[in-house]
Structure 1
Amino acid sequence: MKVLAYSHRQDETEYFKKFSKKYDVEVVLCDDPPTMENADLAKGFDCISIITTKISDKLVEKFHEIGVKFISTRTIGYDHIDIKKAKELGVHIGNVNYSPNSVADYTIMMILMAIRKTKAIIERSNVQDYSLKGVQGKELHNLTVGVIGTGRIGRAVISRLSGFGCKILAYDLYENEEIKKYVTYVTLEDLFKNSDIITMHAPATDDNYHMINKDSIALMKDGTFIINIARGSLINTEDLIDAIENKKIGGAAIDVIENEFGLCYNDLKCEILDKREMAILKSFPNVIVTPHTAFYTDQAVSDMVEHSILSCVLFMEGKENPWQIE
């Protein structure tokens, strides 16, 4: 069988070679993201592999017209794909999973950088300002961390946090018995009210859209830290900016932001960006913004490529596919 892989990056090449051989699949690599203009490259392919490019209803229709039966995204999230249109046309969709350690390690790093005011310290030291005023941090063992979402990544974060001696609260629709030795499950409202740090590990769904907003922020302690390594749509960015400006929120560290399509993984240093909210967030000394890189480790990239190829194989063979969504 054959798979067309869009948005191929050089760091993926060795893994595409390795796993195409392992699973006896011919993989054709395309460096460009899928567009209406290059969709015809997928003619003759039952399966394609993509990353985070927005797959609109029109693009789903185009792929359907040329015979694509399965779209595998080399990501956990799949909100960039018009699932409704895919389901309507009978185009099947799959995602992947990868080592939760990549995002969990990054989350801990971001929490520590936020509460220790690392951004301000680094920026000062770059101009030889070694004063202490304004950069006194907090110690994690004195704080309560609220974890929203206790899936694979949330649980990996909790496991790491347990070694710091902090109190851990958790919220999820489905409680996990294994981690109750580390956490106390509470309602979302109680988590907002009682956490010093809130770290988010929930998927992007209609129910979760803007779960951090002016109303939920109003419930929080003054000086709460917000960490978002999940999906940008979980936070109402305007409300977050307002809360930082009025000092309700003590700081934030985010690896994702609303409307980030076309932004991440591109060299845009000479471009005028239509991203005012991101520019405002980046201007704050107590806000860290990184470009959706929490996942980016050698193990995670290997997992993403392997699972995407294997998902296509399982789909074509009609076997049980743990990554098939629709």
Structure 2
Amino acid sequence: MKIAFYALRDFDELAFAEKFSKQYGIDFVWTEEYPNADNLQLAQGCQGVSCTPCEMKEEWVRAFHSYGVQYMLTRAIGYDHLPGKLIKELGMHISTSPYPTSCVANYALMLILLTTRKFQQTMIRAAAQDYTLKGKMGRDLGDCTVGVLGTGHIGQLLIKHLSSFGCKILAYDKYPNAEAAKYAKYVELPELYAESDVISLHVPSNDETFHMINHDAMAQMKNGVIIINTARGSLIDSQAFIANLKSGKIGGAGLDVIENEAGLYYCNRMGDHIDNDELAMLRSFPNVIVSPHTAFYVESTVSNMVEKSFIALDYFRRGELSPFEIKL
């Protein structure tokens, strides 16, 4: 059995790939490049292709299938970048890499604290040796109402963390759970929008959630509300969001993900002209923190995500269903 790793980073992932290759007895080949028309042949003779979220054209999947690839192994929780319908038609499989959720919940909490205390503006001005106070007054988290949209593993843990700060916590999920209800009050979306000073997004990316934070949703929110997104960029209508930042309706944001980030994040684009107007606009606001999709990036997570590719193929080799396989 063999895996073709694409976009494998030599400074962190490679050592884990070598470790787990020996542990599971599964060979691998690799490239630092994302899949493209010129490197698909790397997967010849491989049963699995492993990659981080990236562009994945249907013709590339067909090529992989012709080379004998049976498994598309994504080194991420999400798989919306993969053409699932085609993969199912070809009789192939998709396996994801769920990882410990504490790192993302902790990162979301960090962004909440940074944005409520206007840290971005404070440090930009401090770098220019402006130590005055005007315009830097923030809010104590304990005085805020925080709305958590989505109470899966990450949302639950964030709610538990927030409970230590003394803030009021509202929650929304189509499927409420008892653990989150210990610390948060479940409400419908209109109430969460209307009452929250901070809203943190923790729902999956799908047709139902696409652009759920749009003009209509933001019109229901408090003036000056802060939006935190460590989930997926597609949850927010970027143009509507920028318009509401300009008007002051949105008082600040902590965004670890943005729309149209494929081909941008995890690439060294120093000195390049970046054709992403939304990113340029978002970075221009002193009350917006934009980090490059790094909420997941801790050592244990990287190890976990690489290992999941080997685990999934090991299950496949034994004729068993991987616990991380997506039912197409």
Q: What TM-score comes out, normalization by structure 2 length?
A: 0.97
Say yes or no: does 1:261 pair with 2:262. yes
RMSD of the alignment, in Å? 1.1
Q: Which amino acid aligns with 2:111?
A: M
Contact 1:148 1:202 in 2 (8 A): yes
1:4 counterpart residue number: 4
How far residue 320 of structure 1 moved from its aligned partner, in angstroms, is 2.7
Counterpart secondary structure, 1:174: coil
Aligned equivalents of 1:315 and 1:194: distance in 2? 48
Contact 1:36 1:62 in 2 (8 A): no
2:290 counterpart residue number: 289
Aligned equivalents of 2:183 and 2:302: distance in 1? 30
- Gaps of at least 5 residues in structure 2 are none
Aligned equivalents of 2:196 and 2:131: distance in 1? 31
1:57 counterpart residue number: 58
Counterpart secondary structure, 1:102: helix
| Number of equivalences | 326
Aligned equivalents of 2:217 and 2:59: distance in 1? 36
How far residue 186 of structure 1 moved from its aligned partner, in angstroms, is 1.2
1:24 counterpart residue number: 25
How far residue 318 of structure 1 moved from its aligned partner, in angstroms, is 2.1
2:137 counterpart residue number: 136
1:255-285 deviation per Cα after TM superposition (whole angstroms, max 9, x unaligned): 1010111000111121001111110110011
Aligned equivalents of 1:29 and 1:41: distance in 2? 8
Poorly superposed stretches of 4+, deviation over 3 Å:
none
How far residue 131 of structure 1 moved from its aligned partner, in angstroms, is 0.5
List aligned pairs for 1:14-163, cutoff 5 A. Answer: 14-163=15-164
1:270 counterpart residue number: 271
How far residue 27 of structure 1 moved from its aligned partner, in angstroms, is 2.1
- Gaps of at least 5 residues in structure 1 are none
Aligned equivalents of 1:217 and 1:312: distance in 2? 44
2:312 counterpart residue number: 311
Counterpart secondary structure, 2:12: helix
Contact 1:86 1:92 in 2 (8 A): yes
Counterpart secondary structure, 2:120: helix
Aligned equivalents of 1:153 and 1:112: distance in 2? 17
How far residue 148 of structure 1 moved from its aligned partner, in angstroms, is 1.0
How far residue 48 of structure 1 moved from its aligned partner, in angstroms, is 1.4
Q: What TM-score comes out, normalization by structure 1 length?
A: 0.98
Aligned equivalents of 1:178 and 1:125: distance in 2? 41
